[in-house]
Structure 1
């Protein structure tokens, strides 16, 4: 069995240690242990996490429910609630964030193993369904917030998008639109049949590429870098002879 990088989010050090031993026996890698919301977010930002086991009761003002919200919306990482709480109110609050499992303490190694395998498989299935949906992407335009207004911009008019810190610049032939958003969100909103990420700071409209030389491409007069890791994906998307 291939092991996964798993983050344990648990405020009881004894339970965290026991859970770590279980995961090691099951050939998984404990990527980190967090006892609070703040520590969990730090681990997520610095580690390669494939799955999180989340206790609902944590140290500090924020709970595992709030960690789950971040896992779902910002990090797109599957998670399982591991908690002593099985009352209706807690379960209903947890269910809002669509966990990939809910295991009530005390749990056995078999329960942990089954929960992990099902969670990872369900996450992979959802990703495949999303990829299939993107294959039939039918949005021809995008509404961009500019100066407190929502401006409709045709997908075909976008030349490229550049990341600028917490902002993204949508460049068309006529003008540029500066939007406060994450680059990950931009990538999800653009038509995957037309746009491809060529660098950590650039997504380009394939139809607008004039030429490619070494590790750069040209759109209009703009020279855009191509990262080594993204170049094979770009070349696969081009109609070449």
Structure 2
């Protein structure tokens, strides 16, 4: 059973906070708390296990220094978890102030569910990668995975289990050997490979035609027309054939 990602929401507008909570719940995340003030957030940080924070930049507080920027600094020093800034503003100064704190994501309200899910997924991967680079985690010990919405649940899928990736119109479809399910990820093939996939895994995947990439570790054979991977076969392209000959030459 996959554990849900635990999210702390800090938003001082009640309607927006509730909409975020409903959206996150629908996407399969676990909202551990919804906080309206800096102090409530600090207390929740100490009280609850949190995987990621959604922080409104402009909190209405009697202490003007108790805003989302200050809370991000506090959270980073206290629990060292990824955070995403939420703001109703997209002016240059607000963005510049936020960038200095190196957030793992940035969202301008109002936020739709698809954008929210994609931003959280990317934020978690960015944090994992940055932690490894900073030496806060050993690269070999870091989990190589991504999160995807399957029904009402957000599911963790290991890149080592993915043997097939195919580009569609608006989504990229990935297939895992463990479940044989097709996992849809919004975006392009290049987005999945260049931004979501860990750099250390990219050499395991071979593009056999314009829309399909296969994990070389599961390729069992090939000919001029098809590539046989895991228990499936896929149409081979000229470029793909050349790569296969080079990769698997005797």
**Normalised by the shorter chain, which TM-score bucket?**
0.5 to 0.7
Greater RCO (Cα-Cα under 8 Å, separation 6 or more): 2
Match of 1:107 among 101, 107, 111: 111
Question: Do structure 1's residue 11 and structure 2's residue 15 form an aligned pair?
Answer: no
Distance 1:98 1:15, change over 3 A: same
Distance 1:132 1:109, change over 3 A: closer
Deviation at 1:132, TM superposition (A): 7.9
1:124-173 CA distances to partner (integer Å, 9 max, x unpaired)? 112222348879xxxxxxxxxxxxxxxxxxxxxxxxxxxxxxxxxxxxxx
Q: Match for residue 99 of structure 2?
A: 95
Task: Find the aligned partners of 1:82 and 1:10 in 2 and give their Cα distance.
Answer: 8
Q: Match for residue 169 of structure 1?
A: none
Checking the alignment, whether the CA contact within 8 Å between 2:131 and 2:137 is kept in structure 1 is no
Task: Find the aligned partners of 1:59 and 1:36 in 2 and give their Cα distance.
Answer: 7
Task: Find the aligned partners of 1:106 and 1:2 in 2 and give their Cα distance.
Answer: 28
Q: Match for residue 40 of structure 1?
A: 41
Which runs of 5 or more residues in structure 2 are unaligned?
A: 140-250
Question: Do structure 1's residue 120 and structure 2's residue 124 form an aligned pair?
Answer: yes
Which has the larger Rg?
1
Deviation at 1:58, TM superposition (A): 1.2
Task: Find the aligned partners of 1:106 and 1:132 in 2 and give their Cα distance.
Answer: 34
State the aligned residue count: 135
Deviation at 1:40, TM superposition (A): 0.5
Task: Find the aligned partners of 1:99 and 1:70 in 2 and give their Cα distance.
Answer: 13
Distance 1:130 1:63, change over 3 A: same
3-state SS in 2 of match to 1:49: coil
Distance 1:131 1:33, change over 3 A: same
Deviation at 1:59, TM superposition (A): 2.8
Q: TM-score, normalised by structure 2?
A: 0.51
Checking the alignment, whether the CA contact within 8 Å between 1:2 and 1:27 is kept in structure 2 is no
Checking the alignment, whether the CA contact within 8 Å between 1:4 and 1:29 is kept in structure 2 is yes
Task: Find the aligned partners of 2:53 and 2:137 in 1 and give their Cα distance.
Answer: 26
Checking the alignment, whether the CA contact within 8 Å between 1:8 and 1:52 is kept in structure 2 is yes
Q: Match for residue 84 of structure 2?
A: 80
Task: Find the aligned partners of 1:134 and 1:22 in 2 and give their Cα distance.
Answer: 33
Task: Find the aligned partners of 1:3 and 1:113 in 2 and give their Cα distance.
Answer: 13
Q: TM-score, normalised by structure 1?
A: 0.53
Deviation at 1:36, TM superposition (A): 1.0
**CA RMSD, 1 decimal:** 1.9
